[in-house]
Amino acid sequence: MKKISIYTIILTALLGFSSCSDFLDRYPQTELSDGSFWKTPTDAEMFVADIYNVLPGRWNGDIDGDINSDNAVHGIKWAAGNVSKGIYDAADMGWSDEYKKIRACNILLEKIDMIENYAQADKEATIGEARFFRAYIYFTLIRKFGDVPYIDGSLSLSEMDDITRTSKDVIYGKVMEDFDYAISKLPEQWPSAKYGRITKGAAQAMKARAALYFSDWQAAAQASKAVIDGGKYELFDAEGTGRYEELFWEVQEACSEAILVRQFKAPDHTHYIIGWECFPTKGWGGINPTQSLVDAFECTDGAPINSSPLYKENNPFANRDPRLEVNVLHDGEEMYGVTIKVAPLKSSGTTGIAQHGDATATGYYQQKWLDPSIDPQSDGWDMGKDWHVIRFAEVLLTYAEAQNELNPLDDSALEAVNRVRRRVSMPELQKTNASLPTYCGTQDALRQRIRNEWRVEFALEGSMRQWDIRRWGIANEVLNAPFLGLKYKLVDSLDALPQDGGKICILYEGENIKLAGSRYAEHNYLYPIPQTERDLNPKLTQNPGY
């Protein structure tokens, strides 16, 4: 049964939940008088509750994040944003929502001392939540834009007109300070009635993510190791019994792998992920995996497909990492009572390539979130599965990567990445037997295997790959390479149906589908500063190259 957090209860009971208008929009800070609002701990909890909607989810784009990488393209053609095409337009950018939330954090930090009879531990935990969110938002801003204005007080929006950009290195230091405070004051676990609130482990894990992005290997290793040693989280189905796919279904709503989630509850608050990402009964495929992503999954012997004797080009889904089938819906599979046919022929129906504007562009559909317990004909738009912001697998791979950079081929790095692989019964990486395909004899060999593990473990889960290829310095290589779909060829046949023009389609032979793809220049490592903000404040300089 899905747990409902105290925030959902407070917001619903006192404010009335709306996906389009939040608490701070309806109650401007100028109207929250000190004499009427900052009276009880509930006031502070209600105030900080609204900040939680800054976490990624459907409507702030994270679910579609993989189209900004080499993992996928958008099957719903009109929904593909400019960044996915390699167009970085300052007019498309914005950060006002982020700064509204930062201002809310700052207001809480300034006003919370006005509340009398606030138990010290509870008060510090609430402060910890606000400082976590301030750190998290600034991390996402400097990751995207580099230097940005740093504000740690409740300036009015008009006062921001004279603000200049602060060095990202300075802001990174402030981010780490806020995370450290949150780690020191937040509880390891909240009562079940407060499910969804930020915990010590969530703050440690997000600190590790930020440190990893900026190659602060020591901080990333220490923070991720603290989560591992804390013992509060574990991989779902760690013993590898073949239930991995359930991790992305509603049946595993609050499992031990979930460190931080964005809460949803259908039909009141839903992310529509089945209908948007892949509605196979209608042939709608919002997120279409590329051939590059499909090829990234190893064979069951632990070898890449280009070196494994198990790989058969005309039967490419056989003998592969089980996560491939979890992620990619392909020709011949049955889903929700419909057999998927991706051949670009009239007889293939709505699920075929280019059969209509929203059909698959690559010959593959996304499968990760297709929960078999949800009937897509009646309620497929209303999926209430909580969105994983951080899960324990990320912490393990963070530790593995950071530790290998600090201590090449360290046994603890191997053990961390192998925990993720064991969960899906993939052979363990090792450094002792060079005759096996899992051998990693150098730091770079292990580095590349860990990077691929990031890709296949978190495929189609949002923006992870977009930022990974930037921090690894390979965005130029992968985004400027051809974007491809599966191979197929049409041949004349007497067995062809009349509506198919005398031809049949042979899959996995011939030429790959060629897609428009993306493009990337080195200055695209940072996004352009939003033009609307520069129009308001000429003191905001633009990033180089724009």
What are 253-271's pLDDT values in tens digits?
Answer: 789 999 999 887 777 777 7
Q: What is the pLDDT of residue 478?
A: 97
Out of 192-201, 275-284, 509-518, least confident range:
275-284
Of the candidate ranges 179-183, 197-201, 379-383, 460-464, the one whose mean pLDDT is the lowest: 379-383
Q: pLDDT-derived band of residue 30, with 50, 70 and 90 as boundaries?
A: very low
Q: Is the pLDDT of residue 362 over 60?
A: yes
- Residue-level pLDDT at 373: 85
Q: Angle of helix 200-213 relative to helix 168-185, nearest 10 degrees?
A: 160
| Reduced 3-state DSSP string for 320-352 | ECHHHHHHEECCCCEECCEECCCCCCHHHHHHC
User: Once rounded to an integer, what is the mean pLDDT over residues 139-164?
Assistant: 87
φ/ψ of residue 313, rounded to 5? -65, -30
Query: What pLDDT was estimated at residue 17?
Result: 29
Q: What is the mean pLDDT of the chain?
A: 90
Look at residue 160 in the predicted model and tell me its pLDDT: 65
Range list of H helices, 192-290: 200-213, 217-230, 273-277
**What is the identity of the amino acid at 454?**
W
Question: Does 31 score more than 60 pLDDT?
Answer: no
392-406 helix and 200-213 helix, angle to the nearest 10 degrees: 40
In angstroms, the CA 69 to CA 465 distance is 6
pLDDT of residue 251: 86
Q: What is the mean pLDDT of residues 444-463?
A: 96
In this prediction, residues 367-392 reach a mean pLDDT of: 82
pTM recorded for the entire structure: 0.92
pLDDT band for position 473 (cuts 50, 70, 90): very high
Q: Indicate whether 19 pLDDT > 50.
A: no
- DSSP single-letter state for residue 531: H
Check residue 24 and give its pLDDT.
37
Q: Which two tokens stand for residue 545?
A: 């190259």
Alpha carbons 437 and 308: distance in angstroms, whole number: 8
DSSP β-bridge partners for residue 315: none
| Percent of the chain's residues with pLDDT above 90 | 74
| Residues sharing a CB contact under 8 Å with residue 106, sequence separation 6 or more, in sequence order | 134, 151, 152, 153, 154
- Tell how many helices (H) and how many strands (E) occur in the chain: 18, 11
Task: Name the token pair of 450.
Answer: 């860990």
Mean pLDDT of 86-93: 97
pLDDT band at 380 (very low <50, low <70, confident <90, very high): low
- Predicted local distance difference test score (pLDDT) of residue 12: 33
Query: Is residue 61 very low, low, confident or very high in pLDDT (cuts 50, 70, 90)?
Result: low
Please give the residue that has the higher pLDDT: either 336 or 293: 293
Q: Which residue has the tokens 């989630």?
A: 261
Q: Which residues are CB-contacts of 134 (< 8 A; sequence separation ≥ 6)?
A: 102, 105, 106, 152, 178
pLDDT tens for 70-86 read: 999 998 888 899 999 99
Tokens 């290997």 locate to 217
pLDDT tens, position by position, 389-448: 999 999 999 999 999 999 999 999 999 999 999 999 999 999 999 999 999 999 999 999
Range 317-323 average pLDDT: 98
